[in-house]
Chain A
Amino acid sequence: DVVMTQSPLSLPVTLGQPASISCRSSQSLLHSDGYSYLNWFHQRPGQSPRRLIYKVSNRDSGVPDRFSGSGSGTDFTLKISRVEAEDVGIYYCMQGAQWPPTFGQGTKVEIK
């Protein structure tokens, strides 16, 4: 199975400041169709997860443009340009390039 490793696991952030989460995969996520299947999800306390980013860098509808995804191969990053209070929660990366799909451990973002 592809192992997804996120860092850091805990990220205290200051409102208005940028934040960055790393996600590394144990194998390349480049599929034979040319796409890299790396998604990012956000889960607020007590809520269901919500997808933010798909195929590395595509924002889902309604996702603020302060969120951006980048990366290739085995190394990926989620960036928040200016953290807002509603951004607290746990962020997960997930690969769908190979069966079985696997998630990272999660990164807990909290306000300092």
Chain B
Amino acid sequence: EVQLVESGGGLVQPGGSLRLSCAASGFTFSAHWMNWVRQGPGKGLVWVSSIRSDGGDTRYADSVKGRFAISRDNAKNTLYLQMNSLGVEDTAVYYCTSNVNDWNAYWGQGTLVTVSS
């Protein structure tokens, strides 16, 4: 059974930083692109970032470029999202997803990031 388990969310002040993690199991993690997708309160789904299977290609939404960094450790089957210079607009549930046979085949349960003073 595929499992994606996010952690690292919480309350942070504007301008602060957080590092999200996503532990993957049940599939060959090192063979697939991985993504972060977020959903603001009462809002729709928004793609944030993606990373290629070997970590050699990373992509970012314009809204987070220069502030967020995606990475992965294939030995630990873990995906990361380092988030810096957080603003209130970054408040959302952050989902880890995997591209197994096309985009966003599997989703984690999400981790809530709240940016507030």
Residues of A within 8 A of B (CB): 37, 39, 41, 43, 48-51, 54-55, 60, 90, 92, 94, 96, 99-106
Pick from B47, B62, B102, B110: contact of A37, CB below 8 A.
B102
CB neighbours (8 Å) of B117 from chain A are none
Pick from B47, B95, B102, B108: contact of A54, CB below 8 A.
B102
**B76-99 at interface with A (beta carbon < 8 Å):** 95
CB neighbours (8 Å) of B95 from chain A are 48-49
Q: Are B103 and A101 in contact (CB under 8 A)?
A: yes
Pick from B61, B103, B107: contact of A94, CB below 8 A.
B103
By size class, the interface of chain B is 20 to 34
A49 to B103, CA, bound (A): 13
Task: Check B104 for interface membership: any CB of A closer than 8 A.
Answer: yes
A101 to B99, CA, bound (A): 12
CB nearest neighbor in B for A104: B44
Task: Check B109 for interface membership: any CB of A closer than 8 A.
Answer: yes
Q: Write the nearest CB–CB distance from B110 to chain A, whole angstroms.
A: 6
Q: Are B59 and A99 in contact (CB under 8 A)?
A: yes
CB neighbours (8 Å) of B101 from chain A are 54
Name 7 A/B residue pairs within 8 A (Cβ), A-sorted.
A39-B103, A41-B45, A48-B109, A55-B102, A90-B44, A99-B59, A101-B103
Task: Check B105 for interface membership: any CB of A closer than 8 A.
Answer: yes
A48 to B95, CA, bound (A): 8
Question: Given known contacts A49-B95, A92-B45, A102-B47, what 5 new A-B pairs fall within 8 Å (CB)?
Answer: A49-B104, A54-B102, A92-B44, A101-B50, A103-B47
Q: Are A96 and B102 in contact (CB under 8 A)?
A: yes
Pick from B44, B46, B62, B103: contact of A96, CB below 8 A.
B103
Q: Are A60 and B107 in contact (CB under 8 A)?
A: no
The answer to whether A105 and B44 touch (CB under 8 A), given A48-B107, A54-B105, A55-B102, is: yes
The answer to whether A50 and B107 touch (CB under 8 A), given A100-B59, A102-B47, A103-B46, is: yes
Q: Write the nearest CB–CB distance from A109 to chain B, whole angstroms.
A: 15
CB nearest neighbor in A for B49: A100
A41 to B110, CA, bound (A): 16
